[in-house]
Structure 1
Amino acid sequence: MADTSTIRGRKGPVTYVMRFFVIAYLSVLVVWPLYEVTARTFAPIERGAEGGIAAFLERLQDPSVTYAFQLTATCAFWAVLINTVFGVGISLLLVRYKFPGRRVLSVLVDLPMSVSPVVVGLALVLAYSSGQGWFGSALESAGIFIIGTTPGLIMATAFVSLPLVVRDIVPVLEEIGIDAELAASSLGASGWQTFRRITLPSIKWAVVYGVVLSLARSLGEFGAVKIVSPGAEFRGETATILIQNRYTNYEEPTAYAAAFVLVLASVLALVVVSLIRKPEDHK
């Protein structure tokens, strides 16, 4: 068997060619577009106009922009909270219990990653819209409205980001096994005590990692919320919908400013994730 350290240290023409193509691919697909967004965010609107940080902050102080980001933050907060609670529960169910339909549940958890978010939004409309949805009429008679309201946006956001929490916790639960949990139970610990003192500390970094990724995904969600939201100014317009509306209405500076904020949030999430992973990698 070849020495892995020798393989890792080996350099040649093929290595340099592969590095070149990888860097070029990432530059064309990721770095250059993000650079354009950043450059245009701080560029003056026209010759002689003011640009830079001052203009950027002024665009963000627009009441409609403030509303969009507040709505986005609200939806992301509740979606992440829901996904954290149910994500931990579903992960424990998939790993610690054997039951009929377990594989079906696992497939359903992965479904949001393979189905287009637009389809997710359409499915929510068909299920919960007033007058025609499966549950819409009953909910409407009770004075509860889902589609076109903040609860509908939260549901759409939570749906598309759920797998990010579950798929980070499941491998950790499988790795740590059940020996410590069985030992705690044999010593008289209740189920809640075992979870709080044994299971949760073992999966805490996986939970945090999944929460951060889920938050980043929730902040940038567009397809599903576009379908369930009215998408009008001060009426269901999230940050991503605001970017589309402003860009198509030739208000590019505001669209660039909002897009830059979302990019900054994503980069911050990646930094947090890397800091979380670093201590774990050295164990």
Structure 2
Amino acid sequence: MRADRRTGAGGWVLRGVVVTYVVLLVAWPTGLVFKRAFQDGIDTFFSSLTSPDVQHALALTVTVAGWAVVINLVFGVAISLLLVRYRFPGRRILSVLIDVPLSVSPVVVGLALVLVYNARDGWFGTTLATWGFQVIFSTPGMIMATVFVALPLVVREVTPVLEEIGTDQEQAARSLGAGGFQTFWRITLPGIRWAIVYGLVLAVARSIGEFGAVKIVSGNITGQSQTATLAVEQTYQNFDHQAAYAIAALLAFTAMLCLIVVAILRPKEQH
């Protein structure tokens, strides 16, 4: 009984430390952003988001994040199937490379894209420029940077589910004459649909909040190549704190909404 009491007391202490840590590091600073965003009223909050430059930044963020999520959906599922359903030389190396965006600074990613796709002296950029296609300092480069940093979120959600469901049902479908696409659409996809949803929701949250890589490849030109996260930095540095807090609060709310969706959906599927 004494051992149980000591364990219980230690558990409460640990909970207190963890809750205090999360509050001080996450909840309190985030709460202050929302407080500053709405301190002059909800009308002021919305009026801060109506300037043409802010509207363009928000629209560009939606465009970049939307394309990045669609691309990550297609290639994330394809890479997951490749890693789980096939054995080939270099498979482990590919699996390790998928985790590179989680360990490398986004600024490094942006610089690498500039070196490869810069129209002036990049490996592929000069050729693409002669064809009239500009990657760096334009929307395609921003999409590529966002795709890179968010790719592991889809793959790492789908891969363990594919391993868990196995291949028995897929083999049975093939034995009955189903083709590859039919097997995927009717057997594989229903089994991994919630994993895809979780990965996409997390990818959305990650994509709309990307800063470092996008800043390097975008040029950060107001009203042209500036996303919402870059607009937060510029408006704050220009002492337009109300607009900075309003944009930041909107981004934070969107990201938290995505995480809430994941938290709500997970228990339903698990039961």
TM-score by length of 1: 0.93
**Aligned counterpart, 2:19:** 23
Deviates more, 1:167-176 or 1:242-251: 242-251
SS at structure 1 position matched to 2:119:
coil
**Aligned counterpart, 1:226:** 215
C-alpha deviation, 1:217, in angstroms? 0.2
Task: Give the paired residue count.
Answer: 269
**Aligned counterpart, 1:258:** 247
For 2:192 and 2:26, the matched residues in 1 are separated by 32
Pair 1:88 & 2:73 matched: no
Deviations along 1:229-271, whole A, 9 cap, x unmatched?
1112112110000000111111111000000000100110011
Instruction: Find 1:188's aligned residue among 177, 181, 193.
Output: 177
**Aligned counterpart, 1:47:** none
For 1:25 and 1:194, the matched residues in 2 are separated by 47
SS at structure 1 position matched to 2:123:
coil
Deviates more, 1:196-205 or 1:13-22: 13-22
SS at structure 1 position matched to 2:48:
helix
Pair 1:141 & 2:137 matched: no
C-alpha deviation, 1:35, in angstroms? 1.0
Change (3 A) 1:277 1:10: farther
Pair 1:161 & 2:150 matched: yes
For 1:8 and 1:269, the matched residues in 2 are separated by 39
For 1:211 and 1:130, the matched residues in 2 are separated by 32
For 1:81 and 1:10, the matched residues in 2 are separated by 51
**Aligned counterpart, 2:199:** 210
How large is the Cα RMSD of the aligned pairs? 1.4
C-alpha deviation, 1:275, in angstroms? 1.4
Pair 1:150 & 2:146 matched: no
Deviations along 1:109-129, whole A, 9 cap, x unmatched?
111111100000000000000
For 1:113 and 1:78, the matched residues in 2 are separated by 20
TM-score by length of 2: 0.97
> Percent identity of the aligned residues?
56
**Aligned counterpart, 1:58:** 47
Deviations along 1:120-140, whole A, 9 cap, x unmatched?
000000000012100011001
**Aligned counterpart, 1:38:** 34
Equivalent position amino acid for 1:249 in 2: N
Change (3 A) 1:10 1:198: farther
The runs of at least 4 aligned residues of structure 1 exceeding 3 Å deviation read: 7-11
